[in-house]
Amino acid sequence: MESDSSTKFSPSKLNTYQDCPRRYRYRYVEKIKRGTQTVEAFLGTCVHTAFEKLYEQIGHGKLPPLEEILRAFEDEWSAGWSPDIEIKDRSYAPEDWKELGRECVKIYYDGHKPFDENRTVAVEKRVGFELMVDGAPYRIEGFVDRLALGKDGAFEIHDYKTGKTLPPQSDADSDWQLAIYDLAVRRDWPDTKAVRLIWHYVRHGKSLVSTRTPEQLAALEGEIAALIRTIKQDHEFAPHKTALCDWCEYRDLCPLFAHGEKVASMSFEALKKDDGVRLVDQMSAAESKRKELRDKLREIERDEDALRDSLIRYAEQHGVSAVAGLEGEVSITEKDEYHFPTKTSSPEALEALERELRASPLWKEVSHLDAKRLLDGYKRKEWPEALLKLAEDAVSRYAKRVKEKTVRFKRKKEIDED
């Protein structure tokens, strides 16, 4: 697989890679277009259009009545609605979704009327900046739903959310989409003193506000650069299964879901002829057999434990350490066992023991390399950049990379629970 040749990145493009490199590959590297749109996305577009109209008129010194803004929403809905728009949860009809959109517009309008908390600079404004990564220039850009100036002179970056989840403040404080726009605004207007990031969760009538310090913004530039570097080095674009897969438009191509999608649309006759279906059914039978045998083995082990106890008692009562039978002999021996504290049984004691040994010359005799930990840290990229570089260097020079396939069977019930 070729690497990505992009020189332009938006926050949503970067987010797509973070959520799933394979989806990123389909969308931005192979540029596979999909006509499908979810009702959630369509509703969001219609609400955004209504707010665009609202602030356009306010910019001209006119306060449009709520009915006019609701009409703008409905016009956009009627013009764009198509039966191809995907509604996953069938308990809600298109009319229910439309009503929800109307409600979003109403909640926002009533909550912010007469819209004099700030002055709108632009709606749907493209903002961006250049970022150098390993000596090459990249353009980072996106669209701000609404850019405004607050009464205190601070820039405000407003974003409208129509989703059903109201995230905690900590999500707003760590979000990087609006923080990227913050960087862009400061580049375009270098005399900017302060920038507020504001998310309007219009279903809930609640706004979250956050700000970034200069140190956080500098760190963010470093994070973006590191992510671009990772994308550029990626040749595999491995699929990453998460709850977002339910909304992915590439399930029919994704190696994790393509066969399942094909099977879901097959007739019973076609199912019987499909080799994949046949093999999985055989695997299911083998798994059931294995479970049966494992249960049997556990039963045998329980019987053995009981017999062991009885034999120990017998040997003690008769003062012997070997008991003879027709088929053989059982010997009973005794030896000292040492049980050290463990992470689960006694974490403080374990920590104290490790502290003491680390400080003693004995440490180099009893400590050993934790290769699994090294590899986990390297793969999850969970360490600071300097440590990560050391880990990358050690892995690249000492670890032999081989492709190994594992086959794991899951019952439908487990898949649904996932």
Cα separation, 248 vs 296, in Å, equals 43
Where does this chain touch ligand SF4 (CB under 6 A) — which range of 88-96, 240-248, 264-272, 295-303?
Answer: 240-248
Q: 116 phi and psi, to 5 degrees?
A: -115, 15
Count of residues in contact with ligand SF4, rule CB under 6 A: 14
Cα separation, 94 vs 81, in Å, equals 9
Residue 245 binds ligand SF4, judged by CB under 6 A: yes
Residue 250 binds ligand SF4, judged by CB under 6 A: yes
Of 23 and 48, the one with the shorter C-beta distance to ligand SF4 is 23
| Cα 288 from chain centre | 33
Half-sphere exposure of 73 (CA within 13 A, CB side): 24
Shortest Å, Cβ 64 to ligand SF4 = 40
Where does this chain touch ligand SF4 (CB under 6 A) — which range of 19-27, 78-86, 317-325, 407-415?
Answer: 19-27
| Cα 247 from chain centre | 13
Shortest Å, Cβ 232 to ligand SF4 = 20
Give the residue carrying structure tokens 């490199």.
21
Q: What is the DSSP letter of 244?
A: G
Residue 231 binds ligand SF4, judged by CB under 6 A: no
Residue 23 binds ligand SF4, judged by CB under 6 A: yes
Of 235 and 298, the one with the shorter C-beta distance to ligand SF4 is 235
Residue 29 binds ligand SF4, judged by CB under 6 A: no
Residue 20 binds ligand SF4, judged by CB under 6 A: yes
At 52 the three-state DSSP class reads helix
- CB of 155 closer than 8 Å to CB of 185: yes
Q: Among 106, 16, 11, 119, which Cα is nearest to 68's?
A: 106
Q: What mask of x and - would describe binding to ligand SF4 in positions 251 to 290, judged by CB under 6 A?
A: x--x-xx---------------------------------
Q: What is the DSSP letter of 360?
A: S
Of 256 and 375, the one with the shorter C-beta distance to ligand SF4 is 256
Residues that bind ligand SF4 (CB under 6 A): 20, 22-23, 239-241, 244-245, 248, 250-251, 254, 256-257
